[in-house]
Structure 1
Amino acid sequence: MNYFEIFGLEQTFNIDLGQLSKHYLELQKSVHPDKFANGSEAEQRFAMQKAAQINDAFERLKSPIKRAEHLIELAGIELVDESKTIRDTAFLMQQMLWQEEIEDINSNHDEDSLYELQDTIAEQQAQMIKDVERLLANQSYLDAQAILPKLKFMAKLSEQLRTLEDDLID
């Protein structure tokens, strides 16, 4: 299923998230269960299925990582198992250094270092997203796919840092 078609969007990584949200709201209104309250059971079921499909499509397209995965799948390339994908030893070493830095930040309650690390991670994520966008535009799907596990790690690390920030501020 092509989620871009559901929203009438061009099949590209760089999409207008405002337009995506607008189309999402319009589509959800069109299949809202209240519109089918007096309809047949089959019509109600269809509306529910369509609403679920729209929700799934919206969730996939609003996330840069999931959007990239969808584009790769649409190109006919099967996504690889994440546990076997990061072979970049420099990145693996960097992961360990970041985890040590997080431990130090946590034990020392060092908010300044936390904010610096958050900025560093955000910058690297932004660069990786640009790289994925460029690779997908050039139809270098396998190269783009190789970056996605790193991006997923970075997203988890960002969430870990947000949680740590909440803990330090409280």
Structure 2
Amino acid sequence: NRSFRVDTTKLQHRYQQLQRLVHPDFFSQRSQTEKDFSETHSTLVNDAYKTLLAPLSRGLYLLKLHGIEIPEGTDYEVDRQFLMEIMEINEKLTEAQTEATLKEIESIVRAKQKEFTDNVSRAFEQANFEEAKENLTKMKYFSNIEEKIKLKKIPL
């Protein structure tokens, strides 16, 4: 089913089923050909699961299936107001000294990602791939901020 909406519980269940069939641990006593097959397919199952589990990678994959990709450095396609918002959040994050401030920023980012995820879902349901692309581009910016937050939380 090529839908942006995914039941993550079903996805996880299907992932586990497939891994029970192809995981290399179950092929240790088999021929080299079967071991190679297992390794290749286990990797494919892992990659597919990771891609489908996260809304951003799932959306990018669906766009790609429709022949649309978001090249790196697509700042020119994002409005200035959005870029200013990103800069402000990045500045707050850089200056953040307390756990409370980090949680506040994290809450803002989580809310924005939910908003974009909902927008992307609607766009795919309406086959509006340009709108999906625009929202996924914005999600990439917030995903970068999420990574920065994770790094900031790691004690030195």
- Aligned partner of 1:31: which letter? V
- Shift in Å at residue 46 of structure 1? 1.3
2:92 and 2:32 map into 1 onto residues whose CA distance is: 57
Q: 1:40, CA displacement in angstroms?
A: 2.6
Structure 2 gaps, min length 5? none
- State the identity %: 26
1:133 CA displacement: 0.6
- Aligned residue-pair number: 155
Q: How big is each residue's C-alpha offset from its partner over 1:132-169, in whole Å with a ceiling of 9 and x where there is no partner?
A: 111011111122012212111111212222333444xx
Q: How far apart, in 2, do the equivalents of 1:104 and 1:70 lie?
A: 35
Determine which of 105, 108, 123 is the counterpart of 1:120: 108
Distance 1:89 1:73 in 2: 26
Aligned to 2:46: 55
Question: Which whole-Å deviations, capped at 9, do the CAs of 1:36-61 have from their partners, x for residues lacking one?
Answer: 33433222211111111111111110
Where does structure 1 differ by over 6 angstroms across 4 or more consecutive aligned residues? none
- Aligned positions of 1:13-162 closer than 5 A: 13-75=4-66, 77-85=67-75, 86-105=77-96, 109-162=97-150
Q: Using the alignment, how far apart are the partners of 2:70 and 2:110 within structure 1?
A: 25
Q: How far apart are residue 96 of structure 1 and its match?
A: 1.4
In structure 2, relative to structure 1, the CA distance for the partners of 1:116 and 1:32 (3 Å cut) is closer
SS in 2 for 1:136: helix
Q: Which runs of 5+ in 1 are unaligned?
A: 1-9
What is the TM-score when the length of structure 2 is the normalising length?
0.88
